[in-house]
Structure 1
């Protein structure tokens, strides 16, 4: 019985007590089930009686006693105790707890998936770095976390579209074009241009694709360098991210908003809503009406639309494509962006709380010799995604970036994350999976198979370490659902590390395979199921993070 199933059981007990007049009040929509810190207090606990006491007009312990009476007759529940002011401590029957292992193995890749977010259609925009340089370490964090979040949301039933917004319009694109031109002509790059080592090969690619380019008047060269250079960078960015296991459904060009008239349509829509005004020759959106600290310019006095106008058009485009919510992942330097974006959503008549979500992430550093490497895209002194992968490997890079909450700045120690030792968190988790895979291969060599699910006697799993492992396995669906709801992939990583530790303690305490001339015992098969279930959860959890689950290490 999983925690989710037990939650339904307790809720049904409440409903039965209310229907029979034992309790008064409303039946809660959800019952919270938790694992007690002390296993002697049972397998699971709930505070539902404390929540119901006021509505029932009775002391919490009386409510708890009434519910305990209902639950003691439920199949799969062996014991219910009332503790403290009214907590219910529930112990499952051994076979009911053991069936968690069977359920995980039978479900396979589907174990951990839920429908808690079913019906939600989300547009998840992440990375979206300017196409004026390669993917840096800061963008790499969003690549790892964003892709893990997309996987989590999908595992919880949501429909997710991964989107990369290509900022291929504006002054930075012209600066990039002039930088490429300067390199191609053998000149110094402009002071406000881009000077990284990557600029020269991009410029060479543009010239090779357009043999007569340098013979044109110089003012005609810049647009070609800009357009072709951006196209080359976007292709490189896409290839780099694909190699990192991060695949986007859409690369959305900002230029298309300008070319299609989408900006004008968005401004017209906002004008219809009554929130546009003009002053000093410029067109403004009255965002202060919706809590912004100042009103924002949509079209400058010279007739040029602002980036904010493009943001308005882009949001409207997402909604017109049928997405219920726009989820946008931004770096710490964009924290001031949140208020104005919420205001534009409200100005369109939408609800920012329902239709918009902005996640702000902190910086990440690659540490060398105890010091972070400084980054500056324009000067070319930066750490790339490929540098990180070269330093620690792809699995370690993805795991390290997804393991910490995005609101924390992190340092990635290249020495630590490249070690093949248990102090490397990703190695620790992957080794647990490889260890189980080796054990299952050893079982097969001895002619031992899992057999049919209906035949396994899970009631034999009575050792405390077996109970710990079973309860940990049972937590996985709830961990996935909570991580998706809270937009917190790091919760999955921390859970996997706890599960790996729980498995290692089980393995050290409970003999699984016979040694030498030892006979196979009745508990051998259920323990094999328990090991296989642990491997399933480790594999599924790592897959959520985009990390492999090796069978040999």
Structure 2
């Protein structure tokens, strides 16, 4: 269970307590959990009971007891204690158990891993200038917020005489526009959602020029990888077939995960994340979870939180950087803990478990690239 999962679990417990009339209080938009300070109890602590006590008209300790009953039995949570004036302290299940839960979630949800409904009550209207980077950014932001449940409409400044040509070029980049011209701006008497401007630093080139030189995937990556307030480097380095090119690194990592699955099939075995404690081989007996797998597992566990943050901040560049981090962690893991046996070695439970982690990494990479509107080829 990740901190984001724990936060959602506690928030769900608050919803249940209110729905069951055990608490009469306003449900907060989110619940904050923090690492327990040195000398404290458990892995994480939460002050939500103190936050709700005044509104509920109950002592914080009583609120904490009500919530503890509804959290203690949740998967991934080993123990819930009440400390101090009403803090909830959580001890999570053993790392191996929670890590396998992450891999199970990725396998079950596929490319939709990390999607959710946190923004399901939001109706968003984005408006951008008739410029290629603005159009691609608005499209990527649409994909992100829709993945979190929001409803979206995108408008573009008046197309003018060359509108059809521009729209055709944008279509080759996967961009669609719902309306041209400036829609009405909301007023206190108007329920229409307010316009949200999308105005990154312009690309300095047209869609046609970029497509001719870079193609659609490298163009989108080049436009989206930098933060919107930074200039977008759009040179030939985006086409380099080497690990110094982050786009190549991410797509190559995905292609390698697919090759591992094909290789395992040829050897007659498949992934199984619960097969053994591996891929969490220890660096030492004293630190059993400090392994090359640890950074990769942690990145996969944090992926849902990252996607939600990127959606809230309208920041597709955060997704690109996350994918780069996953790719680097995957190769570090792959080189230290090969998922395929070598030589006369027979496939083992460790290989099946390592393969499960590799496949989960590939799923996250493909899903993230899709949110950026970039293809994930199985062969490079």
TM-score bucket (shorter structure)? 0.7 to 0.9
2:227 alignment counterpart: 405
Gaps of 5+ in 2: 282-288
The Cα of 1:68 is off from its aligned counterpart by 9.0
Counterparts in 2 of 1:119 and 1:70: CA distance versus 1, 3 Å: closer
1:241 to 170, 176, 197: 170
The Cα of 1:27 is off from its aligned counterpart by 6.8
The Cα of 1:81 is off from its aligned counterpart by 9.7
1:95 to 84, 94, 97: 97
1:357 alignment counterpart: 195
Counterparts in 2 of 1:16 and 1:156: CA distance versus 1, 3 Å: closer
2:137 alignment counterpart: 145
Name the TM-score, length of structure 1 as normaliser.
0.55
1:486 to 302, 313, 335: 313
1:118 alignment counterpart: 120
2:354 to 484, 506, 527: 527
User: Residues 297-353 of structure 1: CA distance to partner in whole angstroms, max 9, x if unpaired?
Assistant: xxxxxxxxxxxxxx5xx31xxxxxxxxxxxxxxxxxxxxxxxxx5xxx33x7237xx
1:395 to 214, 217, 223: 217
Counterparts in 2 of 1:521 and 1:506: CA distance versus 1, 3 Å: same
User: Residues 471-493 of structure 1: CA distance to partner in whole angstroms, max 9, x if unpaired?
Assistant: 32122222222222221212211
Q: Tell me if 1:449 matches 2:270.
A: yes
Counterparts in 2 of 1:426 and 1:87: CA distance versus 1, 3 Å: farther
2:7 alignment counterpart: 7
| SS at 1:523 equivalent | helix
Number of aligned positions between the proteins:
361
Verify the 8 A CA contact 1:391 1:418 in the aligned structure 2.
no
The Cα of 1:358 is off from its aligned counterpart by 2.6
Verify the 8 A CA contact 1:82 1:89 in the aligned structure 2.
no
Compare CA radii of gyration and give the structure with the larger one.
1
Verify the 8 A CA contact 1:72 1:78 in the aligned structure 2.
yes
User: Residues 357-401 of structure 1: CA distance to partner in whole angstroms, max 9, x if unpaired?
Assistant: 3335242456xxxxxxxxxxxxxxxx3222223333322221121
Counterparts in 2 of 1:485 and 1:17: CA distance versus 1, 3 Å: closer
Distance in 2, Cα, partners of 1:414 & 1:51: 54
For residues 282-361 of structure 1, what are the structure 2 equivalents within 5 Å?
A: 311=182, 314-315=183-184, 345-346=186-187, 349-350=189-190, 355-361=193-199
Counterparts in 2 of 1:14 and 1:441: CA distance versus 1, 3 Å: same
Name the TM-score, length of structure 2 as normaliser.
0.78
Counterparts in 2 of 1:399 and 1:81: CA distance versus 1, 3 Å: farther
Counterparts in 2 of 1:239 and 1:64: CA distance versus 1, 3 Å: same
Distance in 2, Cα, partners of 1:428 & 1:42: 41
Verify the 8 A CA contact 2:133 2:200 in the aligned structure 1.
no
Q: Tell me if 1:517 matches 2:321.
A: no
2:47 alignment counterpart: 48
Q: Tell me if 1:420 matches 2:260.
A: no
Q: Tell me if 1:551 matches 2:369.
A: no
2:152 to 147, 152, 160: 160
User: Residues 167-212 of structure 1: CA distance to partner in whole angstroms, max 9, x if unpaired?
Assistant: 54xxxxxxxxxxxxxxxxxxxxxxxxxxxxxxxxxxxxxxxxxxxx
Distance in 2, Cα, partners of 1:479 & 1:140: 26
The Cα of 1:9 is off from its aligned counterpart by 3.3
| SS at 1:393 equivalent | helix
Verify the 8 A CA contact 1:393 1:418 in the aligned structure 2.
no
Distance in 1, Cα, partners of 2:156 & 2:208: 19
Counterparts in 2 of 1:515 and 1:6: CA distance versus 1, 3 Å: same
Gaps of 5+ in 1: 130-138, 169-229, 255-310, 316-340, 367-382
